[in-house]
Structure 1
Amino acid sequence: MGPRRLPNSLPRDLTLRPFAKGDGAASFDVFVDAVRNGAKEHYTTEQRAAWAPVDTMPATWEDRHLAATAFVAESERQLEGFMTLTAEGVIDMAFVRPSAMGTGITAQLYEKTEEAAHASGLTRLTTEASHLARPFFLRRGWNLLGAQTVQKRGQTLENFRMEKHLSSS
């Protein structure tokens, strides 16, 4: 699992960079770890198993991220987290390893993603945030549009539709 970091203590060797060809397997590993272990307090074992049901990366995983505006956070040559933004302004995925939660990595990824959204001329961002992600987005000026339930492999999961209007500055 690695050494525990102090809350809001970014790794000294943290690198933020665009998602690149070859990052698929490591980002999928982050996703599985974040869902199965990081979301334990918010979702049942069955819900998390439905959300991240396999250990093998789907064939379309890497291409999906390469088609988006996506950033990764790397430390000690290990992927710590990633965030993706679609051309329509949807923050589609935002995941950080449980061992890196509370270190500021998600905030760094978000800042890069919002900068990219501004640069692309987007005026509105949306997401479907998990219980774990909702407070993060609220702290960054997002509006809660409402709770919703989604079906995944026979399980009902609750998430939250959210939006943020970007200033034109």
Structure 2
Amino acid sequence: MNINVREANYSDLEEMQDLFLEAIKNIPNSDYSEKQTEAWASTVKNKERWKSMLANQYVLIAEINRKIVGFGSLDKDYIDFMYVHKDFLRKGIASKIFEGLQRKSIELGCNQLTSNVSKTARPFFERKGFSIIKENNNIINDVEIINYYMSQ
């Protein structure tokens, strides 16, 4: 399996949003309820947020056979987005994206990375040396969604 990691561009936006929705809809019910994942998925409608992410953050895409299978974004020392297609979990894709984001943060002179991490992604970030700083109670469309502010 040949994984190509590259910087994202605006032409990737629609495929990235599709992957975002697909990833959220396939989160285990043990982590988040259907109501919670529906509220979370609704954030894809915030077009300005997505355009701003592409314009102002360092965004990496992982592709296999020109199909986007994962993406992640870095805002200075903060990992904002990190999503992998359900069919490609545990195949090293998130790690390749993470390594690229980490390299960029070092180039930018950052000493430590931070991120707001879902229950589902928490074990991955813990394996990368992150620890929980605090638990967040986010409200999206009147639905509470818990995640964790973590630091490496």
Q: TM-score range by the shorter chain?
A: over 0.9
Give the aligned partner of residue 4 of structure 2: 15
Tell me how far 1:17 sits from its aligned partner. Answer: 0.3
Given candidates 51, 60, 75, the residue that maps to 2:64 is 75
| C-alpha spacing 1:57/1:158, structure 2 compared with 1 (3 Å) | closer
Give the aligned partner of residue 54 of structure 2: 65
Give the number of aligned pairs: 152
Classify the secondary structure of the residue corresponding to 1:22. Answer: helix
Which residues in structure 2 correspond to 1:8-157 (within 5 Å)? 12-53=1-42, 58-87=47-76, 89-157=77-145
Give the aligned partner of residue 6 of structure 1: none
Partner Cα separation in structure 2 for residue 76 and residue 41 of structure 1? 32
Classify the secondary structure of the residue corresponding to 1:31. Answer: helix
Partner Cα separation in structure 1 for residue 131 and residue 58 of structure 2? 22
Q: State whether residues 74 and 81 of structure 2, in contact with CA within 8 Å, keep that contact through their aligned partners in structure 1.
A: yes
Partner Cα separation in structure 2 for residue 55 and residue 21 of structure 1? 15
Structure 1 residues without counterparts, runs of 5 or longer? 1-11, 165-169
Partner Cα separation in structure 2 for residue 161 and residue 59 of structure 1? 23
The structure in which a higher percent of residues are helix is: 2
Partner Cα separation in structure 2 for residue 83 and residue 54 of structure 1? 16
Classify the secondary structure of the residue corresponding to 2:96. Answer: helix
What TM-score do you get using the length of structure 2 for normalisation? 0.92
> Bigger radius of gyration, 1 or 2?
1
Tell me how far 1:57 sits from its aligned partner. Answer: 7.1
Structure 2 residues without counterparts, runs of 5 or longer? none
What TM-score do you get using the length of structure 1 for normalisation? 0.84
| C-alpha spacing 1:40/1:19, structure 2 compared with 1 (3 Å) | farther
Q: Hey, which bits of structure 1, 4+ residues long, moved more than 6 A?
A: none
Aligned-residue RMSD, C-alpha:
1.7
